[in-house]
């Protein structure tokens, strides 16, 4: 966000790209998009991001509808331009032709390359704008589209939202003729009509009892407190910890890294603690809200996040990078992530990370917050290429942000720490990821890191505080209805407490995805087992049915072929502990069961 880099031109260009006014305008317009709707750089929202940059570029250099005609090599771009809003196909017939874009929604690109086609599908809204501007004039059109971007679009907006937003902006500024022109243009490029999407849906409150897991100022143990601050586990786990616990949404399981660099799991219902890692190489771990996956960091302090799939077994390492608006180009170096937390979809991991970038006077270090897309829910597998987006594209000089955490009821709200290295304040802030709104004033101005966490009803937020006499405490701050403002003064929750993590032990729907657990097809018993289990297949599941056994870090142990009816399996190949058994039919998961062995 601090610099724009224009290439000097190589094979595809005849000179520096800064020679072209509309190319320069396109890159500067990304800053406009970034500070208005901040459209997420993926899929349709990313195509809108690119489209608005093209549209504003065409309005800066408004003599024609072409982009980059002054700098392209016509042996590469045979149309004589990089893009053409009046003719997105740009003289080509397919994506194999340089500069080609689809001009209709029915022929849009649906693959995963180019962040889901952000530079490709932008031709569709580009052409809609051209048609609209041709009908009402550029002077009206540019004002309508800017108002739509600034007032009616948010980070996740899709093409249908552009149509609704542009129509509303036309109604705000002009009248029926311009509104009808918006709809006519959108119809011509196939962008569907309908009500705009709501990207700020809240979850139902967890109906269970509220608890808070916390540690002390030396991280010597884990404690458990009720919602009124009474310690009911004092300590709850008598083990020094390296990372704060991460807890499933239903309060059933928690994971953490001990001071010995091993990963541990707490079965909260059974009140059982087990070590689940073989090697002491870990630094932090987070379990997904549904308990199906974990994310982990090693003690090597590298730029990787490991994702481990409980349901299927297996793991994948994703390397962190700092994205730009140019495909395949990143900037600066990510040294290592620190805090990690899953979103409610189980597809994204939010993290903070230490970065290093070369500045005019040497290397600059800073912390920022990112989001990495690691899971494909439709295919129920790891994403081949992980998209990364940032909370702030531009972190001011000497400023670091970190310790992010999601709201318990509003998946689009997070809280985090904001620290200016030149001052003594560590501001506790919250932000709306869709609108870009941030707490102003801060929820709390602290003199050390806040490490915030929302209570299960989102009415308060806990943070690490210090009393006037220097006593360290876990404190609470009451939130306003928008969760970006605070009410009254902070209050004491637990004296000596630090790093509180709130949860409730009830069940609620946190995903629209269908459960892959099918109780009617498979039974696994007894569980816990003393060394032998029965897997009963109650229906005809085909000829190729098997049970795969793996540990909580995805390490496979055995695959057993199953027959219809009852299958007796001796578990002598497994030592005592907690495992998963996944039953598959023709490669498709029918059920995954957490299995405890106690001999």
Query: Catalytic amino acids?
Result: 27, 119
- Give the CA dihedral 292, 401, 444, 467, nearest 10 degrees: 90
Q: How far apart are CA 391 and CA 341, in angstroms?
A: 14
Task: Provide the angle, in degrees to the nearest 10, between the axes of the packed helices 176-189 and 159-173.
Answer: 160
Cβ-based neighbours of 131, under 8 Å, separated by 6 or more? 184, 185, 188, 189
Give how far Cα 546 sits from Cα of 267, 310, 523, 555, 572, Å: 27, 17, 14, 17, 18
Please tell me the distance from the alpha carbon of residue 537 to that of residue 521, in angstroms, as a whole number: 6
Give the C-alpha separation, 71 to 56, whole Å: 19
- DSSP 3-state of 7: coil
The closest alpha carbon to 244, from 227, 230, 264, 229, belongs to: 264
Three-state DSSP at 492 gives strand
Place of tokens 């505080």: 465
Residues 6+ apart with CB under 8 A from 515: none
CB 573 within 8 A of CB 533: no
Contact status, residue 283 vs residue 299, Cβ threshold 8 Å: yes
User: What HEC string does 149-205 produce?
Assistant: HHHHCCCCCCHHHHHHHHHHHHHHHCCHHHHHHHHHHHHHHCCCCCCCCCCCCCCCC
Residue in this structure with the two tokens 């199906």, named with its chain if needed:
292
Q: What sign results for the dihedral spanned by CA atoms 546, 547, 551, 556?
A: negative
Q: Which residues pair with 594 in a beta bridge?
A: 580
Count of Cβ atoms closer than 10 Å to residue 187 Cβ: 14
How many alpha carbons fall within 13 Å on the CB side of residue 131? 23
CA proximity to 388, closest of 325, 311, 434, 308:
325
Distance CA 244, CA 256 (A): 6
State whether the Cα torsion 174-177-180-182 is positive or negative: negative
Bridge partners, residue 416, by sequence: 429
């Amino acid at each position: 966000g601090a610099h724009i880099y224009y290439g000097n031109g190589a094979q595809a260009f005849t000179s520096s790209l800064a020679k072209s006014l509309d190319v320069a305008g396109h890159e500067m317009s990304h800053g406009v998009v970034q500070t208005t709707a901040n459209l997420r750089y993926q899929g349709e929202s990313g195509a809108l991001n690119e489209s608005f940059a093209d549209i504003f570029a065409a309005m800066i250099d408004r003599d024609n509808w072409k982009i980059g005609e002054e700098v392209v090599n016509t042996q590469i771009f045979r149309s004589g331009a990089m893009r053409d809003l009046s003719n997105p196909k740009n003289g080509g017939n397919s994506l194999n032709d340089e500069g080609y874009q689809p001009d209709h929604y029915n022929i849009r690109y649906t693959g995963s390359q180019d962040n889901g086609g952000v530079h490709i599908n932008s031709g569709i809204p580009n052409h809609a704008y051209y048609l609209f501007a041709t009908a009402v004039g550029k002077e009206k059109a540019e004002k309508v589209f800017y108002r739509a971007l600034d007032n009616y679009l948010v980070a996740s907006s899709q093409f249908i939202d552009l149509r609704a937003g542009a129509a509303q902006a036309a109604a705000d500024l002009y009248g029926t003729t311009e509104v009808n022109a918006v709809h006519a243009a959108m119809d011509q490029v196939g962008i569907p009509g309908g009500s705009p999407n709501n990207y700020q849906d809240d979850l139902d409150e967890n109906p269970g009892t509220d608890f808070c897991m916390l540690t002390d100022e030396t991280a010597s143990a884990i404690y458990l407190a009720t919602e009124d601050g009474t310690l009911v586990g004092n300590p709850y786990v008598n083990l020094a910890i390296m990372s704060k616990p991460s807890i499933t949404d239903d309060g059933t399981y928690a994971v953490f890294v001990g001071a010995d660099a091993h990963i541990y799991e707490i079965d909260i219902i059974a009140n059982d603690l087990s070590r689940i890692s073989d090697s002491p190489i870990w630094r932090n771990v987070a379990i997904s809200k549904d308990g199906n996956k974990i994310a982990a960091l090693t003690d090597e302090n590298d730029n990787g996040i490991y994702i481990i799939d409980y349901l299927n077994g297996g793991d994948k390492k994703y390397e962190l990078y700092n994205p730009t608006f140019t495909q395949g180009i990143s900037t600066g170096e990510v040294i290592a992530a620190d805090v990690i937390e899953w979103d409610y979809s189980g597809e994204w991991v939010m993290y903070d990370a230490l970065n290093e970038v070369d500045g005019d006077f040497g290397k600059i270090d800073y912390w920022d917050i990112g989001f990495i897309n690691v899971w494909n829910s439709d295919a129920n597998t790891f994403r081949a290429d992980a998209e990364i987006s940032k909370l702030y594209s531009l972190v001011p000089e000497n400023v670091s942000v970190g310790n992010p955490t999601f709201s318990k009821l509003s998946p689009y709200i997070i809280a985090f720490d904001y620290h200016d290295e030149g001052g003594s304040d560590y501001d506790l802030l919250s932000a709306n990821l869709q609108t870009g709104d941030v707490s102003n004033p801060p929820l709390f101005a602290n003199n050390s890191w806040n490490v915030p966490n929302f209570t299960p009803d989102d009415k308060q937020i806990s943070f690490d505080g210090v009393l006037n006499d220097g006593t360290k405490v876990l404190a609470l701050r009451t939130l306003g209805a928008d969760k970006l403002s605070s009410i009254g003064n902070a209050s004491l929750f637990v004296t000596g407490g630090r790093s509180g993590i709130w949860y409730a032990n009830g069940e609620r729907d946190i995903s629209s995805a269908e459960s892959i657990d099918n109780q009617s097809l498979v039974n696994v018993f007894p569980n816990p087992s003393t060394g032998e289990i029965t897997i009963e297949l109650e229906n005809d599941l085909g000829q190729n049915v098997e049970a795969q056994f793996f540990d909580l870090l995805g390490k496979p142990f055995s695959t057993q072929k199953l027959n219809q009816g009852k299958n007796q399996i001796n578990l002598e190949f497994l030592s005592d502990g907690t495992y998963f058994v996944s039953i598959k039919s023709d490669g498709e998961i029918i059920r995954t069961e957490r299995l405890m062995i106690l001999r």
